[in-house]
Structure 1
Amino acid sequence: MNEINNNHSMFSLYYHLVLVVKYRRKVIDDTISDYVKDMVVRLGENYNISLVEWNHDIDHVHILFKAHPNTEMSKFINAYKSASSRLIKKH
């Protein structure tokens, strides 16, 4: 695995996040998936998060990403969900 070194530690933290569309509506196509994936990459730079793998179906998204131990996961997920929902509805 790819461990990351700090001054006094080594770590390798991977997270698997599944996001489901409200009421399991079938709204995710390739263009929406690419748009939301790009948003994960852009927002992840602010939180020391890098995208490892991305998969989607018509009603949910699987995200595998790597993070640092000092990353505030709740703030990242909250910011991502609110930004993606708002911008997708806008378009």
Structure 2
Amino acid sequence: MKLDNNNHSVFSLYYHLVLVVKYRRPVIDDTISDYAKDMFVRLGKNYNISLVEWNHDMDHVHILFKAHPNSELSKFINAYKSASSRLIKKHFPQVKRKLWKEYFWSRSFCLLTTGGAPIEGIKKYIENQGMK
């Protein structure tokens, strides 16, 4: 297992995040997913968070990312959800027909540690999301 490190610690912190669209509306297409993914990567740099795998279905996204011990995960997730919600609705006006209020994402989210599970297995699971 490859470990990350910084000045004071050695670590391997992988997380599986699931974000669901408000009311589970089927509004995520490839273009919106790519836009949201790019925002995740850019904002993640400010929190020492890096994307490992991303995939979407029409009403939710699966994200595998790694973080540092000092990453403030809940602050990052809330900042990401807020910024991406605002900008997705601004740049993709078709979303407003299905989500008429200010929110894009549901208030809740699912964040799982990978618990030592093989990262390749989790990546494969995320890669296969949305395939019927």
Name structure 2 gaps, 5 residues minimum.
92-132
| 1:63 has 2:51 as partner | no
1:84: which partner in 2?
84
Structure 1 residue 10, shift from structure 2 partner:
1.4
- Aligned to 2:71, what secondary structure does the other structure show? coil
For normalisation by structure 2, the TM-score amounts to 0.66
In 2, the alpha carbon distance for the partners of 1:88 and 1:78 equals: 15
2:110: which partner in 1?
none
Name structure 1 gaps, 5 residues minimum.
none
Whichever of the two has the greater Rg, that structure is: 2
| 1:73 has 2:73 as partner | yes
Single out whichever of 1-10 and 36-45 deviates more from structure 2: 1-10
- Aligned residues with identical type, % of pairs: 88
RMSD, matched Cα: 1.0
For normalisation by structure 1, the TM-score amounts to 0.95
Q: Which has the higher strand share?
A: 1
- Aligned to 2:52, what secondary structure does the other structure show? strand
Residue 52 of structure 1 aligns with an amino acid whose one-letter code is V
2:9: which partner in 1?
9
1:54: which partner in 2?
54
Matches within 5 A, 1:22-33: 22-33=22-33
Structure 1 residue 8, shift from structure 2 partner:
4.4
In 1, the alpha carbon distance for the partners of 2:67 and 2:87 equals: 24
2:111: which partner in 1?
none
- Aligned to 1:66, what secondary structure does the other structure show? strand
Aligned residues: 91
Matches within 5 A, 1:31-50: 31-50=31-50
Residue 35 of structure 2 aligns with an amino acid whose one-letter code is Y
